Structures are given as C-alpha cells and as structure tokens.
C-alpha cells in the first residue's frame, strides 16, 4: 500500500511524548470498541467493513445506471444535505478541474441542491436547467429532511414539465432507506431506481455507499480505485494496534492529547485549493461526531497561502487556542514553470527554474516554522498525491480515527442529538402540524 503518514512536529513531540504514551491504552481500548462493537453507537458501525462488505449486485446496477444517465445528461443534480452530499462533493471537487463549470468534459457536470434554502440559488439553478439536459439523484437517509425534500419537489416539477412524467422518472434515482421514509415511498410509487443506505451506516460515514459513489461515478471518477484505497487503509486500521503502525490511532491520540492540554480548535490546513471540500467533509465528520456534552475540538480549516492573508495574523498572534493538522501532498498532477523575464521588473527572477510546487512547499514550511514559533502545535498528514486511491485512503483513515477519537474523548461518536434542536423550532415557526 502507498503510505499515508502522520507526523507531529519534533518540538511538539518532545513536549507531548509522555502524554501520548499515557493515552495509548485508552486509544487502543477505543479501537477495540470499534472492532468488537461493544460501546455506545454500536448499531452504527456498518462503515467499518464497508469497503469489503458492500452489496456487489447493487454496485453493478449502479454502474449500469450511471452509464444510462450519463448518455443523456450534461448536468447531474445531486440533492442532499450534510452527510448526504459532502462526501461526494469532496471527491468530485478534489479531482475535477477547478474550471469544470466552464470547461466541460465528456462527463456530466455535477451541481448541488438541497443543501441550502436560499431562494435565489434555486431560481439560478432552474435557469441553468432550462437549457441543459440533466438527470437527478435525490439522497436522504431518513427520507424526511426538509431541505432536500423542498429542493426535490422544485427540481422534480421542473423535470416533469420539461420531459413529461414518464421520461422524468427515467432521469431520477433515489438513494435512501430500504424500507421507510417519505423519499422511499415516493421512489416506489414513481418507479425510480433505488439505492440503499444501510441501516447501520450514519450519514457522515456514508460516502462509500451509493450516497457518495453514485455522484462520484457520474462525474467520471473511478469508484473501484476509491474503494481499493479505502480497503487498503481498512486493513491497516483493523490489523495494527500500535501508534506507529496505524496512522489513525496516532492521529486520534495526538488530537486528544492536545485537547486535554487546553487546545480548543483543530484547523485542517492544505496548500491545495481543490482540497477545500475535504475540509468541509472532515468538519462535519468530527464536529457532528465529537461536539457533545460540551466537549470536543472545534473543527476549522485554512487554505494556504490564500488564508494566510486573512487568518494568518490571528493564527500567528491571536488567542492561543488552536492546533494545525496539515495535509501534505507530495506530487501535483501537473507542472507549470515560472517564466523568465529579462527585465525582472517584478523582482521574482530568483524563482525561475523552481516549480510552483517548490514555491508552495517553501511557503508551507515557512508557515509551519512561524506557527510553531507562535505556539501553535502542528501535525502533518502526508500522502503521495491526490487521486481516487489516495482519497479512498483518506476517507477511511479519517473515519476510523474519528471513531477512535470520539470514544477516547468519552462521547458516542455515532449519534447527533443536537441537530434536532433547530428543526423543532423551524417546524414550529413554519406551522408544521404537531409542532
Ligand atoms: O451525518 C448525518 O447523519 C447528518 O448530517 C445527515 O447526513 C444529514 O442531516 C442529512 O440527513 P438525511 O440523509 O436523513 O437527509
């Protein structure tokens, strides 16, 4: 397997080593809980075996549907919120061109709905869909979430008006519960192809089910490689019970040690703009899993060097409450040289013959040094490159570490009771019967 590594900056490691040794027993016990399923939330551990243990017949059916829908779609609308869209968006945005909306390839361009209630967003989406051949995936585990339900009603009405009901039902697929929920019932009645989110897989752990795989495949990316990366990382996480052999355990141990030392915020940092949705997905995974009982690191993110010109001052000099977890990618997919300019009016000829990656890496090294000297602990997660395989590794790594970290923190990482509070108030304000 290509290596994914976790490394704590030397100066921080020196001061934390004793605490890391002490927490190791707890981290190993947390790993055992995940593997044995003997702690709170054990009815939501289906993701642990997902990359091996998935419905192969459904997966082949999904590929056939992807081929059928791709042939008639320039745009693919993914309707979902939270765990029902962030994983797909993370992988797609990491792999597609930053300019994919303007430079369309042969595969459908994925747009998102159901993650917002902004009215102008929907009028702009409908304007786009007026002129594009499109198909739709509506994704909701519960099948009752308001935001995707409203979005689906709007998009379904548009599609039916455009093509008629019969053709519209050939262009819609539903990903939802196998037996219950409003979306399940609509899909059965309208005859949409259906894909199942297993009962024992929660939304934020569902990217390796059709929730993530279907949109990722529609965007033209290789879901076999994604699953292979996740499978290989699972093997490491399942088989190794040492911090040095198992990067997920090391990451979980370090973040809990730093939390106990008084750190309140973890910033996931990357120097590649295409990883911004990795941070969004990670924020949901860790925020919803650990933010309970007034505990947990607040997940935040930074993009280098962009945010050094906005947040850099605070990180360097503001209140000392944060740590940084840097995603370091060894190789970019392509190279762009800095051209020579004889006049050198901009004074940057000293950069000629250096690749942008060298320049970016020097900026990142400089940032790490500066932040360490400013009292911000820095940890690095190193990967070879950004492709389907590595993203599969990262997905499983962060999921496994999240389960271990949550149990080490002393919470149930697999529920989300806090998410219900706003819904009750919203339903009351909207006059929903029973509220
Ligand atoms: O992780 C979770 O469980 C949540 O973020 C859900 O994914 C999100 O609330 C959407 O729920 P549903 O898929 O039921 O519409």
The structural domains of the chain, ordered by start, are 5-39+226-418 (3.40.50.10490), 48-221 (3.40.50.10490)
* Tokens representing residue 125 in the block: 């989406």
pLDDT in the model for residue 104: 84
Taking a C-beta distance cutoff of 8 angstroms, is the pair 262, 244 a contact? no
Backbone angles phi, psi at 215, to 5 degrees: -60, -35
* Tokens representing residue 109 in the block: 């361009």
pLDDT in the model for residue 2: 76
For the chain, first and last CA: distance in Å? Answer: 53
User: Is 33 an active-site residue?
Assistant: no
CA distance 47 to 43: 11
Give the helix, strand, coil percentages of the chain, each rounded to 5: 55, 15, 35
Mutate to test the pocket of ligand 1, among 142, 144, 146 (most ligand atoms within 8 A of CB): 142
Ligand 1 mean position, distance from CA 290 (Å)? 16
pLDDT in the model for residue 361: 94
Query: Of ligand 1's atoms, which has the minimum distance to the CA of residue 202?
Result: 3
Q: Whose CA is nearest to atom 5 of ligand 1?
A: 82
Q: Whose CA is nearest to atom 3 of ligand 1?
A: 203
pLDDT-flagged residues of the chain (< 50):
none
Q: Whose CA is nearest to atom 9 of ligand 1?
A: 82
pLDDT in the model for residue 162: 97
In the block, residue with structure tokens 């996480």: 237
Q: Let me know the angle formed at the C-alpha of 140 by 270 and 36, rounded to the nearest 5 degrees.
A: 70
CA distance 120 to 130: 15
User: Is 264 an active-site residue?
Assistant: no
CA distance 109 to 74: 6
Helix (H, G, I), strand (E, B) or coil at 14: helix
> H/E element holding 329?
strand 322-329
Ligand 1 mean position, distance from CA 333 (Å)? 33
Q: Let me know the angle formed at the C-alpha of 119 by 77 and 66, rounded to the nearest 5 degrees.
A: 5
User: Is 107 an active-site residue?
Assistant: no
- Pick the closest to residue 281 from 382, 214, 204 (CA basis): 204
Strand partners, 116: none
* Tokens representing residue 394 in the block: 């990262």
What pairing do the DSSP bridges indicate for beta strands 75-79 and 109-113? parallel
Q: Whose CA is nearest to atom 12 of ligand 1?
A: 140
In the block, residue with structure tokens 């997902």: 50
* Tokens representing residue 131 in the block: 């002129």
- Longest distance between any two alpha carbons in the chain, whole Å: 74
Ligand 1 mean position, distance from CA 174 (Å)? 15
CA distance 429 to 435: 9
Mutate to test the pocket of ligand 1, among 141, 144, 215, 286 (most ligand atoms within 8 A of CB): 141
Catalytic residue among 93, 266, 288, 388: 288
Ligand 1 mean position, distance from CA 274 (Å)? 24
pLDDT in the model for residue 79: 98
Per-residue b/e over 293-320, b at no fewer than 16 CB within 10 Å?
Answer: eeebbbbbbbbbeeebeebbeebeeeee
Residues with CB under 6 A from ligand 1: 81-84, 140-142, 145, 148, 202-204, 288, 416, 419
Peptide bond preceding 168: is omega within 30 degrees of 0, i.e. cis? Answer: no
Catalytic residue among 309, 319, 335, 420: 309
């Amino acid at each position: 397997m290509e290596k994914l590594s976790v490394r704590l900056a030397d100066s921080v490691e020196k001061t934390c080593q004793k605490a890391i040794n002490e927490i190791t027993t707890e981290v190993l016990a947390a790993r055992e809980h995940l593997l044995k399923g003997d702690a709170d939330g054990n009815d939501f551990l289906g993701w642990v075996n997902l990359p091996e243990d998935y419905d192969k017949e459904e997966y082949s059916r999904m590929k056939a549907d992807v081929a059928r829908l791709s042939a008639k779609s320039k745009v693919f609308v993914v309707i979902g919120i939270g765990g029902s869209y962030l994983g797909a968006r993370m992988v797609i945005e990491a792999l597609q061109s930053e300019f994919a909306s303007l430079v369309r390839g042969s595969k459908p361009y994925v747009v998102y709905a159901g993650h917002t209630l902004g009215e102008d967003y929907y009028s702009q989406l409908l304007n786009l869909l007026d002129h594009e051949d499109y198909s739709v995936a509506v994704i909701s585990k519960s099948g009752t979430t308001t935001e995707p339900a409203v979005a689906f009603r709007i998009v379904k009405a548009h599609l039916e008006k455009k093509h008629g009901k019969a053709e519209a039902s050939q262009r819609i697929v539903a990903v939802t519960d196998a037996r219950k929920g409003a979306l399940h019932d609509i899909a059965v009645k309208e005859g949409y192809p259906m894909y199942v989110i297993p009962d024992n897989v929660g939304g934020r752990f569902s990217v390796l089910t059709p929730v993530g795989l279907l949109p990722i495949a529609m965007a033209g990316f290789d879901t076999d490689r994604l699953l292979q990366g996740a499978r290989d990382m699972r093997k490491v996480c399942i088989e190794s019970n040492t911090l040095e052999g198992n990067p997920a355990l090391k990451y979980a141990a370090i973040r809990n040690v730093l939390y106990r030392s008084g750190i309140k915020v973890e910033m996931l940092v990357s120097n590649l703009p295409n990883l911004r949705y990795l941070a969004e997905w990670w924020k949901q995974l860790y925020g919803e899993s650990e933010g309970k009982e007034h505990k947990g690191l607040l997940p935040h993110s930074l993009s280098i060097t962009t945010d050094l010109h906005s947040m850099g001052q605070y990180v360097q000099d503001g209140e000392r409450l944060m740590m940084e977890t840097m995603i370091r990618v060894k190789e970019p997919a392509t190279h762009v040289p800095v051209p020579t300019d004889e006049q050198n009016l901009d004074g940057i000829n000293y950069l000629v013959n250096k690749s942008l990656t060298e320049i970016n890496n020097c900026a990142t090294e400089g940032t790490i040094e500066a932040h360490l000297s400013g009292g911000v602990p820095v940890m690095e997660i190193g990967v070879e490159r950004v492709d389907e395989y590595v993203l599969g590794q990262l997905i499983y790594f962060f999921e496994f570490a999240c389960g271990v970290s949550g149990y080490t923190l002393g919470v149930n990482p697999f529920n989300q009771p806090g998410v219900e509070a706003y819904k009750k108030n919203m339903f009351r304000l909207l006059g929903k019967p029973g509220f």
